[in-house]
């Protein structure tokens, strides 16, 4: 954390016990369509903020800032200080200005640290005051809390406490500043695919968050190499592993549609087919397919090149609203312009708050 924020943080910590139960003033539904994108800070060389096509967006997320495992404050390294400053300045310099938000933790961050954070009132207070101090220092428009994922009902209850206390702090300490509070979440409020039953505190989230970023992807992947799968299908005719089921459940459980933002991936997941002649959805596979990192992940730009270079057959699955391609024994499942358009049309019909992409540069 920059030295200039220390005094502010100490002051907020002293005030925290007095305001924490003062109010949990609810946020209002977004008044405009949210068109968001997450900018991974590690892409600073290939896609610096100045290279982003801002005409596509209303909100940009800086991904990610970690937590100090001991103090539970946001950990702003010299690298993040440099690029967070660059990011917010560039985003705000657009005409009209866009909103710059900071996403915290992320999928690769140690979830035990987050569980420890939310389990204790003092650590929650320290964290919340750290975020407010950072927001003021970097002129941020808000935060996204990306915990992937709470592991049991107790952690869900503690997460609800964090949301309540965070909103109370923002309302009391920043009455004249609009500071957005969002959370990146599982595609469904219920972890119905898990052996540990648990559900998000939807009622609290509806009251305290400006919106949720529903991660409507990774339904299938390297954890099951025996058959191909569409990892971001809008519909699933056989199971409830789909975007429409997940978002519909969020709304049925009480999250206002305008506070539900549909997440779309700018990457695909790939498999190696057992037999090149069997190349449909659910066809037998023997391994992950082409892609970096040994997990069969391929960004959209690479998918387009792969299809062109290998003369791949591209299939637009009308029933599932998803795309796949195959060439030889390589099978790729992903979204393209066609399926994205279909998902946006679905979101408009459902009255959703908008959409986001993970991630810029893909």
Question: Who's near 31: CB < 8 A, 6+ residues apart?
Answer: none
Cα separation of 178 and 155, whole Å? 28
Q: Which of 146, 119, 143, 120 is nearest to 132 (CA)?
A: 143
Q: Which of 21, 131, 22 is nearest to 74 (CA)?
A: 131
> Is 148 a catalytic site residue?
yes
Quickly tell me which residue has 């082409």 as its tokens: 290
Cα separation of 87 and 101, whole Å? 10
Contact 100, 141 (CB under 8 A): yes
- Token digits for 303? 């998918």
Other residues' Cβ atoms within 10 Å of the Cβ of residue 83:
18
Among residues 148, 207, 253, 278, the one annotated as catalytic is 148
- Token digits for 170? 């923002």
354, β-bridge pairs: 34, 261
- Token digits for 8? 């502010």
Contact 230, 315 (CB under 8 A): no
Other residues' Cβ atoms within 10 Å of the Cβ of residue 350:
15
User: What is the DSSP annotation of 3-66?
Assistant: GGGHHHHHHHHHHHHHHTTT--PPPPPPSS-EEEEEEEGGGTTTS-GGGS-GGG-SEEEEEEE-
Cα separation of 179 and 356, whole Å? 19
Residues annotated as catalytic are 148
């Amino acid at each position: 954390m920059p030295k200039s924020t220390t005094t502010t943080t100490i002051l907020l910590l002293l005030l925290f016990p007095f305001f924490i139960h003062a109010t949990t003033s609810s946020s209002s539904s977004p008044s405009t369509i949210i068109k968001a994108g997450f900018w991974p800070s590690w892409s600073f060389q290939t896609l610096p903020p100045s290279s982003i096509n801002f005409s596509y967006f209303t909100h940009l997320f800086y991904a990610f800032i970690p937590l100090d495992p001991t103090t539970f404050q946001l950990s702003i390294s010299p690298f993040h200080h440099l690029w967070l400053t660059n990011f917010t300045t560039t985003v705000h310099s657009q005409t009209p200005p866009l909103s710059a938000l900071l996403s915290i933790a992320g999928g690769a961050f140690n979830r035990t640290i987050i569980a420890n954070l939310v389990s204790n009132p003092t650590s929650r207070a320290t964290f919340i005051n750290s975020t407010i101090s950072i927001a003021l220092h970097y002129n941020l428009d808000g935060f996204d809390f990306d915990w992937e994922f709470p592991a049991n009902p107790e952690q869900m209850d503690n997460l609800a406490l964090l949301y309540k206390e965070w909103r109370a702090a923002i309302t009391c300490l920043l009455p004249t500043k609009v500071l957005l509070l969002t959370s990146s979440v599982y595609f469904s409020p219920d972890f119905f695919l898990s052996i540990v039953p648990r559900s998000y505190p939807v009622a609290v989230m509806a009251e305290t968050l400006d919106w949720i970023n529903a991660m409507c992807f990774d339904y299938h992947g390297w954890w099951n190499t025996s058959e191909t799968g569409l990892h971001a299908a809008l519909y699933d005719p056989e199971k409830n592993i789909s975007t429409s089921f997940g978002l519909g459940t969020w709304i049925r459980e009480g999250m206002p549609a305008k506070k539900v933002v549909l997440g779309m991936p700018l990457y695909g997941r790939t498999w190696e087919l057992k037999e090149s002649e069997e190349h449909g959805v659910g066809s037998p596979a023997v391994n992950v397919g082409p892609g970096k990192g040994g997990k069969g992940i391929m960004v959209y730009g690479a998918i387009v090149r792969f299809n062109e270079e290998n003369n791949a057959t591209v299939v637009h699955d009308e029933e599932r609203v998803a795309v796949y391609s195959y060439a030889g024994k390589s099978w790729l499942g992903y979204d393209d312009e066609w399926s994205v358009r279909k998902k946006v049309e679905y979101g408009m019909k459902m009255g959703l708050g908008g959409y986001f992409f993970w991630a810029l540069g893909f």
